[in-house]
Structure formats: structure tokens, C-alpha cells
Amino acid sequence: MRMKRFIFPAAIFLRPCSAFCCVLLLASIFPLAAQKVAPRKPFDTDMATLRSRFTEAVGQDFEIVKDEIKQRSNARGGGRYWLVHLKPKHSGYFALTYRYDYSDSHYSHVEREFNLGVGARGCRRGPPHLGSYHRFCIGDTIIVPIVINNFKRHEFSLKSSLYSEKDDAAYETHLAKPATQDSQRSLLNNPLADQMRYVGSTSHKLLHRNGGYTLEAYAEFEAQRPGRFNLALSSAHSGLPASVFSDAGHSGSIPIIIVARETPVTLLASSHAVRGYTMGYDGREFVSSTSGDSYMTELIILQPGDRISLKYHSHVRSRDYERTERASHLQSDIARDEVPPPLIIKRPFGLRSEYNFTEWLVDYLPD
């Protein structure tokens, strides 16, 4: 016996369901609309308490000359910071640590530690390392960034140790480098010669796991006399005229200021250690993560005698090329014809404050 199949209109089943859903939706909307939700504050830190705690920790060794709140845009990484401007009262080695309760269940609190070395007035600071300065002089202003965000219960501590004139002498010796000679040096056009001496170029290979390598070339300069400019570098064998680089604004160039030895400057306390603490099952806190952080800037401030090394060229060699080198017994030395001389371009001084944390320094540049 063949049974008949009846097809019912879908509207018969959907209409009651739709009506029921609408009732539930309306019932859920009106109670929410009646509730007033207080806007969340960006942070609830009492600034007076914050200043008092910070002054109590550092007041014996540093003078607080200024403080300001800075909010970074989301495009620049976000975050709300308290920038404290400090002047050291005496030389020494300092470990400035601050802690705060973290707004996450994973961490109970976080500690950040800055290590600051302060030499005598007119000391040698040396060039920055990876965009960070670690050494300052009496008379300098050090900007210490304290992250605020929505963290709570900030606390501060400072440890110090003595500094002597022998430490300054030892650092001078550390910075001293032998006069490097380069056969190409006399042939290069150096538009920076009044402020910076071209010392020479170096190169090295970055080996690839599967064979081949990347050859990188670096140009070394030594600061001579005070001045400010932007430095751009390229390979002299790039085939492009210098006007292409000099007309390109500040993009791809490095802003450099050379100051006299005794000139005080304002620098950012940048590189620091970060330690995250977690609450254990027994109620005791333990270090659960360690890392480093750095408020890097693109600005380089030098004194006469400081040397910097900047990459200006790189190219990749294949595995087959490397094998050919080995077969030709060239692997021990890099052939000089593979490393073109640098093309040195001088541009007017200018900062790109939209990158890194350079924006915190633009109002405090040395004359």
C-alpha cells in the first residue's frame, strides 16, 4: 500500500516560533535598557599617593623636576604612562623597581626594574645599544616611564651602590677603539665629514640552515664635532643616484645629534627587566615569567669620540654559490668585490615622532 506524503507550508510552523522569539528578545532588551552602567575609568590611581610613594623611594638620590601623563594611541601600541623626569644628585649605580597589581587572573603582581648607571658631570655616555641608553651623567635628565593603564597599588623601591672615578676611567678604556683603516675610505664622498668621520666598513655572513648565507655590510662612523643631521646609507652599487635618497624626506634615515662632552641632555630610561608573579596553591607568590622590555627611540645622541656601526647593504647567496666558494677555497675570506662601498647621504635633521617612543623626547632635545 502506497502512503501519501503531505507537505505543510513552512509558515504554519515559523510564525508561532518567530512570535515567541520576538517576545523573548523584547523581554531581554527592556530590563537592560533600564539599567545604568557606570563608565569605566581609564585608571583609578590616586596621583597624589603615587607621587608621594615615588618621592619617598627616590628622593634621597634623585630630584623630581617634572612629571606628566601620556596616553599613547592604539596605532602606537596604546597604554597610559606616567613620565617622571629625574635629575641624579650624585653618581652611582641604581636599580629602580616598581610593582603593581596586574589586571589578570594569571598574575598576582608584576615588577619592572630599571638599571641606571650615573657617572660624573661631563662623563662619557657611549652610544646607545639597540636604541637604549644605560649610562647617564650628573646634570642629565632621565625620563622614567611608569605604566599606569588600569593597574593598581603601585609601589616603588630603589637600591644603590657607590661609584668612583675609576669606573669612569674604566668606561673610557672600554669605549676606546683602535684607529681602523679602510682602503676605500679616501675614495668615498662623505658629506658628514665636518661632524662624523667615516672609519671603514665591515662585513660578515649569516649562515642559512639549508645552505647559503646572507652577507651583511656595516659602515662605521666616529663623532667629531657637535651638530645635528639625519644620516641615510645605501650601497654605492645600488645604481640609484644620491638625489633619490636625499629627496625622500626623513624616511629611511637616522636622526643624530652630536653634543659637546659637558652638555647635559634628556634621555629615556628604556631597557628594563619584567617579572610576573603568580599566587600558588599555598598562598605564596612565585616568579612565573621573566622577560625584557624597552621603550626604544630612533634618536641617537653622541659625544665626540663615540662610534656607531650601521648596516647599509645585504644580499643572499644560494647554497650552490656557497659550495662553489668552498670548492674554490674562498670560504675563509669574503671577497672584497662582494662588499660594495657605502653611499653616505646627509639630510636635514628631523624626527618621526609617530614611531617608537621618540614622541616623549621631541620637546627636550639639546640645543
pLDDT recorded at residue 44: 47
Cα separation of 61 and 94, whole Å?
9
End-to-end Cα distance, the chain: 104
| 151 and 109 Cβ atoms separated by less than 8 Å | no
Q: Which three cell numbers stand for residue 20?
A: 515567541
SS3 assignment, position 261: coil
Is the pTM value of this prediction over 0.85? Answer: no
Domain spans in the chain, listed from the N-terminal domain onward: 47-171+264-298, 177-263+301-357
Chain mean position to CA 267: 13
H or E element, residue 124: none
pLDDT recorded at residue 165: 74
Please give the average pLDDT of every successive group of 10 residues along the chain, which has 367 residues. 45 43 42 39 68 96 96 84 97 95 79 95 90 91 94 93 79 70 66 94 88 90 96 75 47 89 95 89 84 90 94 87 72 57 93 85 92
Strand bridging mode 109-119 / 272-279: antiparallel
Cα separation of 185 and 314, whole Å?
20
pLDDT recorded at residue 72: 87
pLDDT recorded at residue 303: 96
